[in-house]
Amino acid sequence: MKRSYGPRGGCRGVLVSDKDVDKSLKVYIVEDSPVLRERVIESLEETGNSRIVGSADTEDDAVSGIIDSVPDAVVLDIQLREGNGLNVLRRLRNIDLEVRPLVIILTNYNYPEFRYRAMTAGTDYFFDKATELHRVAEIIGSLRNPVTVH
């Protein structure tokens, strides 16, 4: 059995078996608002098929955290405490990752120009925080097994 850890390594007090950990989707959260980050985590916990492997609120921390944790999916805000999510996408695209994670942008910048720039940079989904937060859990919940891209 392993303990499940929340953002920044704080123990969430949930015991999961090694077998369950192997089946769960690894999700990395990049969000500068602690309140929203916790809402995303809570909604993903309800899917039953994911676990949070890390979080960041800056561009540099996000890139290094994603490289280190090798997530199956990344939930990414555009505006960060330092830097931005579009740069995170661009930087990851220029790194030879063993696995390319599914990227879901969740932002308050729901404008056509940001959507276009995000899609061009490599995001898979683009959702508005105000009206589509629930879509993140729907997408992650619909993914039953991690997909490895070599």
CA 122 to centroid of chain Cα atoms: 14
Split at pLDDT 50, 70, 90, the class of 47 is: confident
Does residue 91 surpass a pLDDT of 80? yes
- Of 9-23, 67-81, 96-110, 133-147, which has the strongest mean pLDDT? 67-81
Does residue 150 surpass a pLDDT of 60? no
pLDDT at 23: 72
Amino acid making up residue 86: L
Selected residue with higher pLDDT from 49 and 11:
49
- State how far the Cα of 150 lies from the Cα of 9, in Å rounded to an integer: 29
Which structure tokens are listed for 31? 């969000």
pLDDT at 84: 96
Q: Lowest mean pLDDT: which of 4-13, 27-36, 128-137?
A: 4-13
Split at pLDDT 50, 70, 90, the class of 22 is: low
Q: In what order do the strands lie in the sheet with 102-107?
A: 50-56, 25-30, 73-76, 102-107, 125-128
123-136: average pLDDT: 96
- State how far the Cα of 24 lies from the Cα of 66, in Å rounded to an integer: 17
Does residue 93 surpass a pLDDT of 70? yes
Split at pLDDT 50, 70, 90, the class of 68 is: very high
Which structure tokens are listed for 27? 């999700």
Please report the DSSP string for 35-91 in residue order: HHHHHHHHHHHTTSSEEEEEEESBHHHHHHHHHHH--SEEEE-SB-SBSBHHHHHHH
Domain boundaries, the chain: 24-142
Split at pLDDT 50, 70, 90, the class of 143 is: confident
- CATH number listed for the domain at residues 24-142: 3.40.50.2300
